[in-house]
Structure 1
Amino acid sequence: MASIAEGARFDVAAFIDNRSVGAREVLVLAIVSALLLLDGFDMYFLGKILPRIAEGLGGTSVDMAPVVTFQQIGMFVGALIMPPLADRIGRKPVLLLCLLGFGGLSLGAAYSNGFTMLTWLRGISGVFFSAMLPVGLALLSETTPKHRRALFLSIALVCFSGGNIMSGVMTAWWLDELGWEGFFILGGVLPLAAMALLLLVPESLSYRVNRNPTDPRIAAMIRRMDSQAEVPEGAYFYIGTQKEVSPLGPLAMFGKRYLPQTVLLFAMCFFSMGNIALLANYLPTLLYEYKGLALETFAFYMIIGYIGGACGTLVMGWLMDRVNPFVLIASYFIVDAVMIFSIGRLAPEVAIVFVTALVVWTFCQTGGQTGINNLATLAYPPEMRSSGIGWAGAMGRVGGIVFPFLGGLALAEALPLDTIMTITAVPALMIALLVFILGRANGGQIDARARAA
């Protein structure tokens, strides 16, 4: 290869950011969104049919507590180890591995002969489907021009929530026809079939630059994207204002520059994702056992409620570039706390009031988590982006272990529903406080590099 001449440098970030959104970008958005849709389905259908699974295995809802707990442990492990693997070997190989892993294990879970077998299969599955979101978002963010990045990330997150909606539709209309086993079969077959879609997606240019800034494949990828691009012979590729990649790798997020935001983001994810896991896994059961609300009826209500979640995600993505993001996210979680408190006291029979509360709750819960995800995506440079998103998510999975465990204890102790929901509202207020503190610490700026400029 020719030596690197003075000025023979090529800014890959500028090349991506200056492009118009075209077929390539839309294709990546569509495929990542489809994969996250399947991931969301596999992640969330368990809670909607939990009592039916327990009955099918000859037990009660309380017997499912280990399944829920081990699933969250698996998700923690996956969020911890898979994103750094994606920073090392690439986004696409890890996405393929995850689809193969949770798809195959979900098929096996359909033939579980008891709670122990289901607990192990679901726990190992969690390792794989927890990594789809951070790695998929990293790939999408590194492919999309900056002026459409927040919107594209929000659309992908809406599709992730759409998996939740899909499982709700199936529960409301086809639970009896499919049986609980049918959910696991679909949760296995669809991801395995979707592996073929990744053949259509190019690897992240930012990943290749960080692995080897003189890799000749980078020039070939750029020319495929734009035949008119002027790539110098023997070019040295770099990412905008990015400095030399830290030898510490993802551990650099615990250095002096990034430590405050890392601690605060981890704490936000702990409380937010803990609450999401608790309510996703136990709210249908709580309303079924305390209020007599049929699983199918609640699933139908939540189909409407998830529309609020989709709107909350899109509104969050649109507003984050236009108003103070920290005030915006904190406001979401304050309203979230009010709605959680209210749901424990509203009568499901008054459908219009109850469903309205569900819509506002999902608007704020899902939109608020989108805000946190966007903060994590934008807070770290490319060389640690996948790890930053993933490790923040891993801390969220710790919350996803602790909170459902406490939910299982509350269910076993038969605490009053209004008491359970009041306690559950407190973490949302904690998140609002943490977001406010992060905003003050960062001087209102999301990007750490912008604060240093």
Structure 2
Amino acid sequence: MEMLSPDAVAIRHGVAARLERLPLTRYQRSIFAVIATAWLFDSIDLGIMTFVLGSIKTEFHLSAAQAGLLGSSSFLGMLAGAAIAGVLADRYGRKPVFQVSMIFWGIGSLLCGFAQDVTWLMVFRVLLGFGMGMEFPIGQSIVSEIVPAKNRGRYVAMLEGFFPIGFIVAGIATYFLLPVIGWRGIFIALSVPAVFVFVVRRAVPESPRWLESAGRIVDADAVVARIEAHVKAALGGAELPAVAPVTNVAPPSHRAAGKASIAQLWTGGYARRTFMIWTLWFFALLGYYGLTTWLGALLQSAGYEVTKSVFYTVLISLAGIPGFMTFAWLIEAWGRKPSCVLTLIGSAAFAYLYGQAAGSHAPVAHLIATGACMQFFFFGMWSVLYAYTPELYPTRARATGSGFASAIGRLGSLLGPSIAGIVLPAMGQGGVFTLGAASFLVAALAVLTLGVETRGRALEEVSV
């Protein structure tokens, strides 16, 4: 009987081929659930500012421009966290960097509750944002590298679906807790889940695709073998499907293991993809956060009391749940590129209409209807964005590519609320939402002209 070395085994039946032929079982779903739980709590922490910004603005007597800077502060941390974590995850692995992000997130949230002035609150929001920025590109990379191609887009999109759920939970929590414990107590309470998530994340394995790309063939084989054993047990001991080859997979020795850098994103066929995805992230997030960070405060400035503004914002945000569910299905049924363009055009149209309704003091029913449609497309956009981005890069640069795309997006996130704070006094709410709509249209044009389709293809097949 022929004895194969680990390298020979990897070349004959590589990690990609072994993972792609596995049925989706409760084991892969359990990995997804752990990552999704962290995503949920991160989203609550990020979304909470939408609901407490008005109260903080009142307590510290902030101008619109100062409130905009505070709303933007966490995105400065996210920009740095996303860029740094992506490179580190491609060099040292997904799992260790994934764990470290929890420390920054938990400590940052705790300290926000003890901030004595707006300057320190901004500093602590930057720290919290750094942890969240580390989280997002690594989480999406792990899910995309473990879930088979036929399910990958839907599950990464569902992962992002925990963002609107977290946003809604943040609103509900604020509605009930703000009158009782204030915004400081809310921030302190949100630091507690970080400990829980830090512990349960230990169950997430290192990405075998990354191990293989880094030349750690024996380790990659061991992780895949454990995954295969878990899947087989979940199937009641049934035999696994035969391994079928995945095309366009170079031997491990030919890969640039441990050499991830931003330069790789601009070489060969990746330059066009990088320009497209950076443009998409920047303008999509500039528009999104320029509007949503201000939703509650804008309603308050329009004359609605605090509890009503929070209630209306939560009600509007509920439409995000069918939004991400619809597009989680649509990206597999129709494709990433057309789905992305549709979400951006829909976001632009209803952001403009909502701005006109809010600025003209339209009836509440009209305001909620246009706002709900806007949030439907907003959260559909997030689902597509996170599913699409990691598929554009090879394993050796996937976290780097996702991280820098997210970092460029966070630059848009950083500028959006600040620009809105400057535009608001001059052009009113209608001007703020028109600016957001224009940002979504620029992002749609970039995808329409430069985007590639990745639906239903193994990650190795879409590498160039």
1:354 aligns with 2:361: no
Superposed, 1:13-412 pairs within 5 Å as: 13-57=16-60, 59=62, 62-215=65-218, 217-227=219-229, 241-243=248-250, 244-246=254-256, 249-250=260-261, 251-289=263-301, 291-346=302-357, 350-411=363-424
Structure 1 residues 263-272 or 313-322, which shifts more?
313-322
- Distance change (3 Å), C-alpha of 1:156 and 1:451: closer
Counterpart residue number, 1:234: none
- Deviation of the 1:145 alpha carbon: 1.9
- Distance change (3 Å), C-alpha of 1:184 and 1:239: farther
- TM-score normalised to structure 1 length: 0.89
Residue deviations 1:109-130 (CA, integer Å, cap 9, x gap): 1011111111111112211112
Q: Give the Cα separation in 1 of the matches to 2:7 and 2:208.
A: 22
- Deviation of the 1:3 alpha carbon: 4.8
User: Which residue type is aligned with residue 118 of structure 2?
Assistant: F
- Deviation of the 1:196 alpha carbon: 0.6
- Deviation of the 1:131 alpha carbon: 2.0
Q: Give the Cα separation in 2 of the matches to 1:222 and 1:212.
A: 15
- Distance change (3 Å), C-alpha of 1:64 and 1:352: closer
Q: Give the Cα separation in 2 of the matches to 1:166 and 1:420.
A: 26
1:434 aligned residue (429, 437, 446): 446
Secondary structure (helix, strand or coil) at the match of 1:320 reads: helix
User: Which residue type is aligned with residue 314 of structure 1?
Assistant: M
Q: Decide whether the 8 Å contact of 1:77 with 1:127 is kept in 2.
A: yes
Secondary structure (helix, strand or coil) at the match of 2:206 reads: coil
CA RMSD of aligned residues (A): 2.5
Q: Give the Cα separation in 2 of the matches to 1:135 and 1:221.
A: 18
Count of residues in correspondence between the two structures: 439
User: Which residue type is aligned with residue 219 of structure 1?
Assistant: D
- Distance change (3 Å), C-alpha of 1:130 and 1:295: farther
- Deviation of the 1:404 alpha carbon: 1.7
Q: Decide whether the 8 Å contact of 1:112 with 1:118 is kept in 2.
A: yes
Q: Decide whether the 8 Å contact of 2:286 with 2:436 is kept in 1.
A: no
- Distance change (3 Å), C-alpha of 1:52 and 1:31: same
Q: Give the Cα separation in 2 of the matches to 1:6 and 1:219.
A: 11
User: Which residue type is aligned with residue 397 of structure 1?
Assistant: R
Secondary structure (helix, strand or coil) at the match of 2:427 reads: coil
Secondary structure (helix, strand or coil) at the match of 2:45 reads: helix
Q: Give the Cα separation in 2 of the matches to 1:64 and 1:253.
A: 35
Q: Give the Cα separation in 2 of the matches to 1:313 and 1:366.
A: 5
- Deviation of the 1:212 alpha carbon: 2.3
Q: Give the Cα separation in 1 of the matches to 2:122 and 2:448.
A: 39
Q: Decide whether the 8 Å contact of 1:266 with 1:392 is kept in 2.
A: yes
Q: Give the Cα separation in 2 of the matches to 1:451 and 1:137.
A: 17
Q: Decide whether the 8 Å contact of 2:53 with 2:297 is kept in 1.
A: yes
Moved segments of 4+, more than 4 Å: 1-8, 58-62, 444-453
Q: Decide whether the 8 Å contact of 1:269 with 1:396 is kept in 2.
A: yes
Residue deviations 1:360-380 (CA, integer Å, cap 9, x gap): 101111212322222212111
- Deviation of the 1:90 alpha carbon: 1.8
Secondary structure (helix, strand or coil) at the match of 1:221 reads: helix
Q: Give the Cα separation in 2 of the matches to 1:203 and 1:452.
A: 21
Counterpart residue number, 2:436: 424
Gaps of 5+ in 2: 234-244
Q: Give the Cα separation in 2 of the matches to 1:47 and 1:61.
A: 14
Residue deviations 1:35-63 (CA, integer Å, cap 9, x gap): 00011111121122112123334545543
